[in-house]
């Protein structure tokens, strides 16, 4: 066994330790630690991805006791690929949102912010690597509390309200998930995924404990769906993402909800197995809710007049796409869903950061009518916002195009007749709706200024933001050009998950 396989353990422990250490350090040092941590996680995960791609999955004992008795990690290259992506996005969010973190958060509370980012990093790593459903639950708790923390830390009325709402939704989600795990444990006697898989398969075939088995599936899926914001549970989104400090919005929408979905996909494939999941009818429920979520999310986004809330509503639609993909089929559908997770994780934070840069230029206003023509005063932000908007609409040469193409392929190739039609129609309709609200915004920020006093911002006075956005844009366009290798990577990973 090569030394490389120890990386996940070290990364998780390192995240937890840096969180603990940051509690006695000033905010600035804590930020450096967080950025270093993200960079280290990204590098180590990339090395691990290459190693695991060649060697195949590795089961890593956490302690001296083998699988059904002790905890275990399952290292797959798909998991470490996502860990690397998540860490990159987190790095760029913290870097790009630096200015607003400094402005929005009291100086002596800033280290708390970075502690919570480190803890979210640990939780995301665990979602990517764990092979134990209860370990997953423990880190879901950490993730829940920490996300409420990074949301409410700016402490203005609206974010406190948003945090309370987010906390209620999120805790309902955790509670349902825990109930599901308890029921599952009662009928199987296991908590580790391989053993769960065997027992669940036997139970499903014999028909024993049918009702508890199905309700455990419902509880776990609905728990994670609530936490990631599937329709009709998306109502916490606009306030949550709309009023938090931009880095938090980016991390919450781009990473935390995606971490839950990645974990859900893992549970579907590793615990219940695609056969059971796709014959239980649960996939149809997710498909239907996803489709409704896409349309309603886009509809609400059109109705918004605040740029942040609009981007937040559009997140609900994107979550809808991912669940629609999960609902279509266990192979191409899930591949498309995973690809869209990457698309959204790369695009949404860059949109939030750009929107905040634009609103900085417009004296801090966030309404569309105040943002008219603002791109002329903040050229870089205008460009990066446009790239992000194009990616969300699905213009060629951006990642959004590739994921929409993949959804269409999955729908036509593997959906039954009705699903195929629905997928195509929904994709068409939602692309038009996306175009409506994103193109409207882009046109607005480039149209003739209203003549208010604006703050001119160039590359020079917002270096961290521009660096982060350039990276986001490069990853976005680069990935869309190299879409087929990445598609192949994910497809191969899913078939062996």
Partner 1 sequence: MKKSIKDWFSEWDEDKINLTELTANQGNENLIKEEKKEHNISELVELKQKELSRAGKIYPVLAALLCVVIIYFMLMTVSGLPKFGQADNPTNNEVVERYVEKGMEETGAVNVVAGVILDYRAFDTLGESHVLFTAVIAVFTLLLADKEEKETIEEGQIMKQDNILRNTAIFIVPLTVLFGIYVILNGHLGPGGGFSGGAIIGAAFIIYAMAFGFSGIEKFLTLKTFRIIVLCALLFYSGAKCYSFFCGANELHSIFGPGTPGMILSSGLILPLNIAVGIVVACTMYGFYSIFKRGRI
3-state secondary structure of 26: coil
Choices 149-157, 223-231, 283-291, 328-336 (CB under 8 A): range interacting with partner 1: 149-157
Residue with Cβ nearer partner 1 (144 or 430): 144
We find the least distance from the C-beta atom of residue 322 to partner 1, in angstroms, to be 25
DSSP 5: G
# of chain residues touching partner 1 (CB under 8 A): 81
Least separation, in Å, of the C-beta of 228 and partner 1? 20
- To partner 1, the closest distance from the beta carbon of 78 in angstroms equals 21
33: helix, strand or coil: helix
478 counts as binding partner 1 under rule CB under 8 A: no
Among 104, 270, 377, 491, binds partner 1 (CB under 8 A): 104
CB of 132 to partner 1, least distance (A): 8
Enumerate residues 17-36 that contact partner 1 by CB under 8 A.
Answer: 17, 19-21, 23-24
Contacts of 41 (CB under 8 A, 6+ apart): 11, 14, 15, 83, 84, 87, 121, 125
Per CB under 8 A, which of residues 42..81 are in contact with partner 1?
60-65, 68-71
Q: ∠ at Cα 235 (133, 238), nearest 5°?
A: 105
Closest distance of CB 423 from partner 1, Å? 29
Q: Which three-class secondary structure state does DSSP give residue 201?
A: helix
Binding of partner 1 at residue 175 (CB under 8 A)? no
- Give the nearer residue to partner 1 in terms of CB position, either 200 or 486: 200
Whole-number Å distance between alpha carbons of 415 and 122: 36
Q: Which of residues 340-379 bind partner 1 (CB under 8 A)?
A: 360, 363-367
> For the window 212-251, what string marks contact with partner 1 as x by the rule CB under 8 A?
x--xx--------------------------x-x------
**What character string, x for contact with partner 1 (CB under 8 A) and - otherwise, covers 377-396?**
--------------------
User: Should residue 424 be labelled a site residue for partner 1 when binding is judged by CB under 8 A?
Assistant: no
In the complex, what is the shortest distance from the CB of residue 486 to partner 1, in angstroms, rounded to a whole number?
A: 30
Question: In the Cβ-directed half-sphere of 173, how many Cα atoms lie within 13 Å?
Answer: 29
85 is a site residue for partner 1 (CB under 8 A)? no
Q: How far is CA 294 from CA 111, 287, 422, in A?
A: 37, 11, 12
Cα-Cα-Cα-Cα torsion 411, 416, 417, 423, nearest 10 degrees, comes to -30
Q: Answer positive or negative: Cα dihedral of 134, 139, 140, 142.
A: positive
Distance CA 248, CA 259 (A): 15
Chosen residue from 47, 178, 187, 285 binding partner 1 by CB under 8 A: 187
Distance CA(297)–CA(273), nearest Å, equals 30
Half-sphere exposure of 365 (CA within 13 A, CB side): 16
Of the candidate residues 4, 46, 160, 284, the single one contacting partner 1 (CB under 8 A):
160
Nearest to 68, CA basis, from 160, 198, 240:
198
Kindly state whether residue 446 participates in binding partner 1, applying the rule CB under 8 A: no
Which parts of 115-144 interact with partner 1 (CB under 8 A)?
Answer: 115-116, 119, 122, 126, 132, 134-135, 138-139, 141-142
The DSSP result for 360-402, as a single string, is HHTTT--BGGGSTTGGGTSHHHHHHHHHHHHHHHT-TTSHHHH
* Cβ distance to partner 1 smaller for residue 376 or 492: 376
């Amino acid at each position: 066994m090569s030394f490389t396989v120890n990386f996940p353990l070290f990364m998780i422990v390192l995240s937890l330790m840096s969180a603990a250490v940051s509690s006695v350090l000033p905010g600035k040092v804590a930020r450096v630690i967080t950025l270093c941590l993200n960079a280290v996680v990204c590098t180590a995960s990339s090395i691990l991805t290459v190693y695991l791609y060649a060697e195949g999955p590795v089961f890593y004992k956490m302690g001296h006791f083998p699988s059904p008795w002790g905890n275990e990690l399952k290292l797959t290259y798909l998991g470490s690929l996502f860990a690397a992506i998540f860490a990159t996005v987190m790095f760029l969010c913290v870097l790009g949102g630096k200015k607003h973190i400094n402005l929005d958060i009291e100086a002596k509370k800033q280290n708390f912010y970075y502690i919570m980012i480190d803890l979210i990093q640990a939780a995301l790593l665990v979602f990517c690597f764990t092979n134990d459903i209860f370990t997953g639950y423990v880190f879901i708790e950490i993730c829940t509390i920490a996300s409420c923390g990074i949301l409410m830390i700016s402490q203005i009325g609206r974010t406190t309200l948003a945090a309370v709402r987010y906390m209620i939704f999120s805790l309902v989600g955790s509670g349902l998930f825990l109930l599901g795990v308890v029921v599952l444990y009662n009928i199987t006697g296991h908590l580790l995924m391989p053993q769960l898989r065997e027992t669940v398969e036997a139970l499903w075939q014999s028909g024993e404990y049918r009702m508890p088995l199905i309700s455990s599936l419902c509880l776990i899926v609905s728990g994670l769906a609530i936490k990631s914001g599937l329709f009709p549970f998306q109502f916490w989104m606009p306030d949550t993402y709309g009023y938090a400090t931009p880095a938090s919005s980016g991390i919450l929408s781009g990473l935390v909800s995606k971490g839950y979905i990645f974990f859900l996909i893992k549970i579907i494939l590793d615990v219940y197995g695609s056969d059971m999941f796709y014959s239980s009818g649960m996939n149809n429920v997710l498909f239907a809710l996803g489709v409704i979520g896409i349309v309603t999310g886009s509809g609400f986004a059109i109705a918004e007049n605040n740029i942040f809330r609009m981007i937040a509503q559009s997140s609900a639609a994107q979550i809808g796409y991912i669940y629609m993909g999960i609902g279509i089929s266990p192979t191409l559908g899930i591949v498309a869903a995973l690809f869209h997770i990457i698309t959204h994780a790369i695009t949404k934070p860059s949109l939030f950061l750009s929107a905040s840069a634009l609103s900085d230029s417009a004296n801090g206003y966030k309404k569309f009518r105040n943002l008219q023509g603002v791109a002329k005063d903040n050229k870089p932000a205008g460009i990066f916002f446009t790239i992000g908007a194009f990616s969300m609409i699905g213009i060629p040469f951006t990642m959004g195009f590739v994921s929409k193409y993949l959804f269409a392929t999955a729908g036509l190739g593997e959906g039954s007749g009705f699903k195929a039609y629905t997928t195509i129609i929904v994709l068409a309709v939602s692309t038009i709706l996306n175009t409506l609200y994103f193109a409207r915004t882009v046109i607005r920020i480039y149209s003739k200024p209203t003549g208010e006093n604006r703050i001119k911002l160039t590359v020079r006075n917002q270096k961290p933001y521009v660096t982060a956005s350039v990276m986001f844009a490069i990853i976005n366009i680069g990935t869309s050009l190299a879409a087929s290798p990445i598609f192949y990577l994910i497809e191969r990973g899913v078939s062996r998950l």
